[in-house]
A and B are shown apart, each in its own frame.
Chain A
Amino acid sequence: MIFEERQIEKNNFSSRAIILFALMGLGFLAALIQIFLLQVSSYSDYEIAALKNKNYIIPIQSLRGEIFDRNGRYIVRNEPTFDLITRPDSIKNIDSFLDQIEPVIFLSESEKFLYLKLFEDKAFANKELVLKKDLTEVEIARFNVRSHAFENAFIDKRYRRVTDYPKIFSHVLGYTSRSKSPYKLLSNIPISHWKDGELIYANGFIEGKTGLEETYNSQLIGKPGQRVYEVNARGRLVKSLEYRPSQNGSSLKTYLDIEAQMSAAKFLGSRRGAVVAIDLSSGGINVLYSSPSYSINKLSNGLSVDELQNLINDENKPFFNRALQGRYPPASTIKPAIAMFGLANKLVDWDFQIKDPGFFTLPEDGRVYRGWKKGGHGIVNLRKALLVSSNTYFFSLAYQADINELALHLSNLGFGKDVCKDCFDEDQAFVPTPEWKYKKINTAWFKGDTVNLGVGQGYFVATPIQLANYASILANKGKGFELSLVMNSEEYYMPKIWQNNEYNELDWKRMHQALTDVIESDFGTARSIRDLKTFSVAGKSGTAELVGLDSKEAYKDLRDTELLRDHSIIVVFGPMPNPKYAVSVVIENGESGGAVAGPVAIEVLKSLINNE
């Protein structure tokens, strides 16, 4: 090549080399920009992603708070049991390990099967594995003596939730069982890690399902702790990075009284019914018992399918909480409330009297409403009407009432609404109104419905806790509390005062006197329980009719069917004249209110007074 040609070639090369090297420079720049974007702009995203890769966070279960009665006695506690735990990753030969341990601790086929099934996975990830649950004292002692031979196994404490009174507190306490969504407790821990959580309870992450255990679950459960492990790409635990201990749940101090609750259970016996007792100074619930009951220990810690089926199919419905959900006509126990309404609205005064022929005839259509006593009670004033429970008197009083005002009055006494702030699944029952009746049964309200309401029959239903609440308002002369099971210093509720300005102190005194005479006088309908106690008690009994009948003769035929018999109801408060407790008792198909429900109420009142 001649010189010029060489020069052209050189220039040509140079310009082409510049193009290619510049292209390479662009590629280089693109890579550098991408690196900058990764390491500088999106650093925090990738930092989190890297931590997510390597950090394996597991929850540590917290110890649940315990539950105490008003005297500081345990109702529910955490009872330790002992499990044999192993470290599969350091067990070299699983067969010889099992051969070695079997003479010390008996292993069933299913225990061995489960252990062998999980062994490889746990060994691979350095995790612990339970070999046998709930060791006996003998097994613990046998193992401890030989523990030096088992470097890969140790005994660890696990709790069970138990009560020493499994059958009497079932409905009020409720039960705990394995939670379906424990991961909601700590949202920073991925759901899939919860299976590896460190447990304190033998039956896993538990939560309250019913009763107090459910209502106060968030307080009782405490706060889980957490442990952060470093894991490699294959999921194997490398080391522990962080440990945050769990916080125990706070305990509950309740108003419940073990002795009084036991009395309620004892005196109700096998009958279906409910007892509720209220502390008049606080609105605290001392007794909340529904019969028949069941064992919460079994329900919490394992119940066979058959046992559960039997409970579910039991015709007495043990799971049904009659104290909070049973709907019963209040019957004659409502009469003091009707009397209060009459006085406040000047429909009657204490001297107003009528002649009671044993029945009331509705002027509109001549329909007859009968009293419980044939021939009637003669001349009755308001006091006597309460004492002898004159239906005629209250029929005619209710007849004069405006139904909407009367319904409002009853609702002010807690009927038809929730009365307890921490009860589980309370039923509101209801007070009937014309509006309700039209909506529900598409029929107009007629005067006879109001007349029926005057004796607590007809559509009107109330729960035992509403009856006890009503009794407490009567006892406290119009002052009502929002009822509660748990003493809670953090949340203080001002009492809700129910007062009618037109209902004065003298009226209350006469009312208390009249209700005391129901039990303490020779003429009272509940005089049969007068001698069961040493202090005086006020109250009103009732017999809730399940079937409307015209005569006593017809009822005699009906009695043959137990489930159609009248319910026995009583509300009491005492000791008079300065009452401390109000009690309601309902016994299904128990018939005569005073004589059947009365003794139970008195026994509960006695044990509350004796056990302060």
Chain B
Amino acid sequence: MSKLSKIFFDPYLFFSIFLISFLGLFFLYSASNGDTSIVLKQFIFVVLGLILMLLVSQPDPDLFRRYALLFLIFSFLLLGVTVLFGPEINGAKRWVRIGSFSIQSSEFLKLALPVFLASFLHSKRLPIQPKEVIISLLIIGTAFIVIAKQPDLGTGLIVALSGLFVLFLSGLSWGFMGGSLALLIISSPFLWNVLLQPFQRQRIATFFGIDSDPLGAGWNIIQSKIAIGSGGLFGKGFGEGSQTQLNFLPETETDFIFSVIGEEFGFFGVLLLLSIYLFILMRCFYLSLNARDRFCRLVIGGISLTFAANLIISLCMVVGLLPVVGMPLPFISKGGSALLSLFLAFGIITSMGTHKKFLPQ
């Protein structure tokens, strides 16, 4: 805090995110069949997001550590409000209205959970004790169950992962992990019946070919594969993808926007996009290894790995490697809440990665 004039800023992260989010606007224009109002709204969120990211980068990591519990409680409260009072859209309660904005409350938990767990675990001696593990798992489990019951299985899994990553990185014992995995496998029939909604079970069954319905849940994935595959090496050109423009592809602005990119820009376009994502991840990896203390390392690792998991699930879903669970493509899919939470996340990462001050413990 000695030099007020210093701006905490990571040019690699900032410019690659800047690039990918503006490319995203371009893709969104085509995916929405040229709907400028959607693009404009997204643009505003991108600009706000970039500013937010810069602002969030400035405070010292200690601030985040100190307010981590508060942030977590706030996030849980918001989630509680959503589940109890939120409007039901398409059979799911995921949104809470604040003024004229709708916010997807689970997005906050995606950040609050890893930051809190990092603050909880960063001072613990290695190896971390069963008591601490159980507390962490209880918090993670609660978050997962509440979100999965909204129902929003995709986000629930991501939130759970964000917590588990921190737990793993902070030194969870291998024996414990092996035991939990066995327990998970044994309890999977229970999870299948209790946690999953019928439509989610249907999607997963369709994916594994147990239940074939070419015009139902499987239709989307078939059309997505056709869109990507028919893009070939160079793509059909901007706004020229027949699968996209003639509406054969569903949810082009959100879950399936990657298929639009694949169709219109081809394999080379996809390679370019993926290399930007890869660059961001590698930068995060570097920052996590070189962060100033254990708290920063855990936060950067937890958040950036969550980001990676989010990205990979989203990709694998549209190319037919995973069941369709509803996962937006980060920085590109339409959606203000998701976008702001991403910028917030990278703001936190920047803060953690750029503050180099060492304080004696």
Contact = CB atoms under 8 A, between A and B. Distances in A.
- Asked if A and B are interacting partners, one says yes
Interface of A: 1, 5-6, 8-10, 12-14, 16-17, 20-21, 24, 27-28, 30-32, 34-36, 38-40, 42-43, 45-47, 49-51, 53-54, 230-234, 238
Given A20-B301, A38-B228, 19 more contacts: A21-B281, A21-B285, A21-B308, A24-B309, A27-B316, A35-B270, A35-B319, A38-B229, A39-B232, A43-B233, A47-B229, A47-B230, A50-B227, A50-B242, A51-B242, A53-B242, A230-B242, A233-B247, A238-B246
Contact of B246 (A24, A38, A230): A230
Interface stretch (B1-9, B165-173, B186-194, B334-342): B165-173
A192 B350 CA distance: 59
Interface in B120-166: 123, 125-126, 165
B266 interface: yes
Contact of B267 (A5, A9, A27, A40): A40
A29 to B, nearest CB: 10
A49 B165 contact: no
Contacts of A232: 246-248
29 contacts: A1-B361, A10-B297, A12-B126, A13-B298, A14-B289, A17-B301, A21-B305, A24-B305, A24-B312, A27-B309, A28-B308, A28-B312, A31-B315, A31-B316, A31-B319, A32-B274, A35-B267, A38-B225, A38-B228, A38-B262, A39-B266, A39-B270, A43-B232, A46-B225, A47-B230, A47-B232, A53-B243, A53-B248, A54-B242
Contacts of A34: 316, 319-321
A17 B169 CA distance: 6
Contacts of A53: 223, 226, 242-243, 246, 248
A228 to B, nearest CB: 13
B71 to A, nearest CB: 23
B171 A9 contact: yes
A9 B226 CA distance: 48
A232 B298 CA distance: 49
A17 B299 CA distance: 12
Interface string B248-274: 100000000000001100110010001
Contacts of B171: 9, 12-13, 16
B309 A13 contact: no
- The 5 A-B pairs of least Cβ separation, nearest first, read A46-B229, A50-B230, A27-B312, A31-B315, A38-B229
A20 B226 contact: no
Interface residues of B, number: 49
A38 B223 CA distance: 12
Contacts of A13: 169-171, 288, 294, 297-298, 301
Contacts of B168: 16, 20
Nearest to B246: A232
Contacts of A54: 242-243, 246, 248
A46 B225 CA distance: 8
B77 interface: no
Nearest to B122: A9
Contacts of A8: 126
A156 to B, nearest CB: 29
A43 B229 contact: yes
B177 to A, nearest CB: 11
B61 interface: no
A51 B246 CA distance: 11
A238 B289 CA distance: 55
Contacts of A21: 281, 285, 305, 308
Interface string B296-333: 01100100010011011001100111000000000000
The secondary-structure label for the interface of chain A is helix
B343 to A, nearest CB: 21
Given A5-B126, A36-B267, A16 B169 contact: yes
B262 A233 contact: no
Nearest to B307: A24
A193 B172 CA distance: 63
A34 B126 CA distance: 40
A24 B308 contact: yes
A13 to B, nearest CB: 5
B231 interface: yes
A18 B168 CA distance: 12
A17 B288 contact: yes
Nearest to A32: B274
Contact of B228 (A5, A39, A234): A39
Nearest to B168: A16
B126 to A, nearest CB: 6
A14 B301 CA distance: 10
A12 B230 CA distance: 46
B278 A28 contact: yes
A45 B229 CA distance: 8
Contacts of B126: 5, 8-9, 12
A17 B225 contact: no
A75 to B, nearest CB: 49
Contacts of B311: 28
Contact of B321 (A20, A24, A30, A50): A30
Contacts of A10: 294, 297
Contacts of B165: 20
Contacts of B288: 13, 17
Given A31-B321, A34-B320, A50 B169 contact: no
Contacts of A238: 246
A49 B226 contact: yes
Contacts of B169: 13, 16-17, 20
Nearest to B247: A233
Nearest to A12: B171
A405 B6 CA distance: 122
Contacts of B315: 28, 31, 35
Interface in B179-203: none
Contacts of B263: 50
A46 B361 CA distance: 60
Nearest to B274: A32
A32 B123 CA distance: 39
Contacts of B321: 30-31, 34
A191 B169 CA distance: 60
A5 B125 contact: yes
A54 B223 CA distance: 12
A21 B305 CA distance: 7
Contacts of B309: 24, 27
Interface string B91-116: 00000000000000000000000000
A40 B361 contact: no
B175 to A, nearest CB: 15
Nearest to A29: B312
B345 to A, nearest CB: 16
A233 B316 contact: no
Nearest to B230: A50
A32 B316 CA distance: 9
A36 B233 CA distance: 9
Contact of A43 (B123, B223, B230, B294): B230
A17 to B, nearest CB: 5
Contacts of B285: 17, 21
B232 A49 contact: no
A35 B248 contact: no
